[in-house]
Structure 1
Amino acid sequence: MTVSQGFLIPLIWLISNLGLSDKESIATNTSGSKAQSEILIDNLSEKHADLPSHAALDLALQGYEKLENELKKPILSVIDFSLPSTEKRLWIIDVAKQDILLRTVVSHGRNSGMLMAEKFSNIPESNQSSLGFYKTGETYQGKHGYSLRLDGLEKGINDQARNRAIVIHGADYAREEVAKMSGRLGRSLGCPAVPTELSREVIDLMKEGSLLFIYAPDQTYLSQIPLLQP
């Protein structure tokens, strides 16, 4: 009997005598982060019919797994700009409970596009949205009322968020009624604005140390994604 055979026999015995949950744990650990993200996606799919696109959610979960130890709460928010502004394209996900806490419409920057967000910038006064990963900061009272500061985590992609005053805030132009009347939401100066009546709930769920990922099928960004580089 070789050394490898001698190791394999007790390993097979161990696995055969484990409970189902233990086997699932081994499968998850040996198959890596991809398996963990797929498990979460499957669990969310069982509870909810509408999720972000698979590409958006998978990338968001990869970023969450990489930054999990630096976050203060197990909340992952995803904005999926592959969808038009008439659709609810912001999801707030409790990763620990594997459930969606809230879903709503969200605006994009006025120079990013009309119905769809198609152009993105990190440049001050561009009035465009910025893609990528953000860590949520502190709340404050500003010209839009109760608002939430964002810190862009990707150099050259969104790291000017603070300087640009890119924040989560409520806006009447970001309400579903506006989209029904005009065929699209109103647009911001680059901020992901949400309906006024939901803004406090959205901000309180996301504030102070959770992760936000803003996705679009933009090949310039997807070809690099600084946060996910080795």
Structure 2
Amino acid sequence: MSLAARLAALAPGADPEVIDLALRARDCAMSSGEATGAGEKLAVIDYSKPSTQKRLWVFDLAAERVLYTEHVAHGQGSGENFARAFSNRDGSHQTSLGLFRTAETYNGGNGYSLRMDGLEPGFNDNARSRAIVMHGAWYVDASMAQKNGRIGRSHGCPAVRAQVAREIIDTLKGGQFVFSYYPDNKWLHQSRLLACATTGTTVASRR
């Protein structure tokens, strides 16, 4: 059984094909020198799922454990309950796809936050200049989802519940990985990391 299948078995609701793609992109980034260090923590966000479902999983790859399963917001410009549009452009208020390397933490307008650097030119490499960061948000709330049919939305940041934000950020800070997925044909076919990482039949051809 592959690592992706083993992790998916521990994470009900997670798609093993998406996890496999995330692992391959991570391996590609590390083998190509675009990212260095152990990078043993990996957050996988599946934006093909609605915001009313938990669609963020944080994995400890070395221990083969699921550390968190959470709701996560997408950008206001990306859609309502479902994210449909994605962008790397400043001012779009849309979510960006692809693999990110986590960096430093800071305290800003959204409290304790985690900066991320996009590793995919044209798809997420403007993340730092756009201030696309992980942070806690009051509007990431299951009761809001029940009332409004969706959780609240961000300006493009993968915002998480305020109650767990610090724990998740501290788990992921300093050179770990975040992978944001959606079956977007342009990204799936033009991403350098996916091109180097994927052989044979892929998620792109199965969706």
**Normalised TM-score (structure 1):** 0.80
Q: Give identity over the alignment, percent.
A: 45
> Contact 1:86 / 1:184 at 8 angstroms: preserved in 2?
yes
Is 1:50 aligned with 2:16? no
Structure 2 residue matching 1:162: 3-state secondary structure:
helix
* 1:46 Cα deviation from its structure 2 partner: 4.1
Structure 1 residue matching 2:2: 3-state secondary structure:
helix
1:84 aligned partner, one-letter code: P
> Contact 2:8 / 2:16 at 8 angstroms: preserved in 1?
no
Is 1:82 aligned with 2:54? no
* 1:93 Cα deviation from its structure 2 partner: 0.5
- Distance between the aligned counterparts of 1:114 and 1:181, measured in 2? 14
- Could you list the structure 1 runs, at least 4 aligned residues long, displaced by more than 4 angstroms after superposition: none
Gaps of 5+ in 1: 1-37
* 1:45 Cα deviation from its structure 2 partner: 4.0
1:157 aligned partner, one-letter code: F
Per-residue deviation, residues 7-50 of structure 1 (Å, max 9, x unmatched): xxxxxxxxxxxxxxxxxxxxxxxxxxxxxxx5212322443433
- Distance between the aligned counterparts of 1:195 and 1:45, measured in 2? 22
* Equivalent runs, 1:148-167 vs 2, <5 Å: 148-167=114-133
Per-residue deviation, residues 63-88 of structure 1 (Å, max 9, x unmatched): 12223461343011100001000011
Equivalence for 1:134: 100
**Which stretch of structure 1 is more off in the superposition, 161-170 or 63-72?**
63-72
* Equivalent runs, 1:34-45 vs 2, <5 Å: 39-45=2-8
* 1:106 Cα deviation from its structure 2 partner: 0.2
- Distance between the aligned counterparts of 2:195 and 2:11, measured in 1? 31
- Give the length in aligned residue pairs: 192
* 1:223 Cα deviation from its structure 2 partner: 1.4
Question: 1:219–1:143: structure 2 CA closer, same or farther, 3 Å change rule?
Answer: same
Equivalence for 1:186: 152
2:10 aligned partner, one-letter code: K
Please identify which structure carries the higher helix content. Answer: 1
Higher RCO (C-alpha 8 Å, min separation 6):
2
* Alignment RMSD (CA, Å): 1.4
